[in-house]
Structure 1
Amino acid sequence: MICSTCRRAAMRSARLPLRTLVRAPTAISRLSQTPITSTTPRRLISTSIPRFSAAAEEEPDLPSMSPAENEIADILKEKLSPTELLVQDVSGGCGSMYAIDITSPAFKGQTILKQQRMVNAALGDLVKGWHGVQIRTKVSA
């Protein structure tokens, strides 16, 4: 059973679609439609390719981790040698639910279930004090 704060945090952290696709109006459909005279906001559609400066292409700074998140990250770094690792407290600050994104060469040839079991085994008894954990694993190239 998880607390209401953790439940809300889990719902917020659920992945949402990154973009909403909208079909551009065609000439035929524009002729058949009546003009819209309401004050309803309309979506703007751009067909140009975005241009980025060199500064914008750099990787954005990741938010700093809390001491509890750092402790979890240190354990995983020691046991699984990840190439990428992100630990987030998604419980709203109470430290009872974490989201872990980890990429490691140790996962090569393992099923997703075995990869997640490896993360659970690395964390050991630490996980037993939490309401829940979200683990996303990837194999590094």
Structure 2
Amino acid sequence: MAPSRAVFRSASTAFAALRTSSSRTLASTAPSRARQLHYLSLSARPLLTSNALPISPFRRHNSTDAATAETPSAVEAPDYLDEKELHIFQKLAQELQPTKLEVQDVSGGCGSMYALDIVSAKFKGLSVIKQHRLVNAVLKDEIKGWHGVQLKTKAP
């Protein structure tokens, strides 16, 4: 014979009481929302250098950030670039006159993949695809020997 509805009702109320008591226990042990937001705001703050320029802890700092703060039209090559990175940096700087330019070999030093971050006035009014095509046209001979490129472009 099937159990009556009263048995199901009592079981469901007991389960509901158990569920609410366990959620109260979890809520009392979890950190408060204000404390969570405080930790998030602390972790999102940028690090400051001695000259008070913010540095993101997630990317490699270079001297072009300081150069763009002083003279927005000129970009100087950082001293840590190797030969291939320096060649790419100089070629892009000559053709695009960027306000910010970062070139980094991300292939482990073999020169088969580069990460490029470029901010240039020549990108103004162009779509992202046209900006990338412009960079590809400047570096067409170099790109032939690469495995890949990470390209980030932006107009000021």
TM-score band by shorter chain is: 0.5 to 0.7
Q: Which protein is bigger by CA-based radius of gyration?
A: 2
**Deviation, structure 1 residue 47:** 2.4
User: Alignment partner of 1:110: what SS?
Assistant: coil
TM-score (norm 1): 0.62
**Deviation, structure 1 residue 58:** 2.1
AA partner of residue 93 (structure 1): G
| Aligned counterpart, 1:106 | 122
| Aligned counterpart, 1:74 | 90
How far does the alpha carbon of each residue in 1:57-87 deviate from its partner, in whole angstroms, 9 at most, with x for none?
3245527222211110100000000000001
| Aligned counterpart, 2:74 | none
> Which is richer in helix?
2
Q: Distance in 2 between matches of 1:74 and 1:53?
A: 29
Count the aligned residue pairs.
Answer: 106
Gaps of 5+ in 1: 1-29, 37-43
Q: 2:154 aligns with which of 132, 135, 138?
A: 138
**Deviation, structure 1 residue 128:** 0.2
TM-score (norm 2): 0.57
| Aligned counterpart, 2:38 | 47
Percent identity (aligned)? 43
CA gap 1:54/1:115 in 2 versus in 1, 3 angstroms: closer
| Aligned counterpart, 1:10 | none
AA partner of residue 90 (structure 1): V
* RMSD, aligned α-carbons: 3.2
**Deviation, structure 1 residue 101:** 0.5
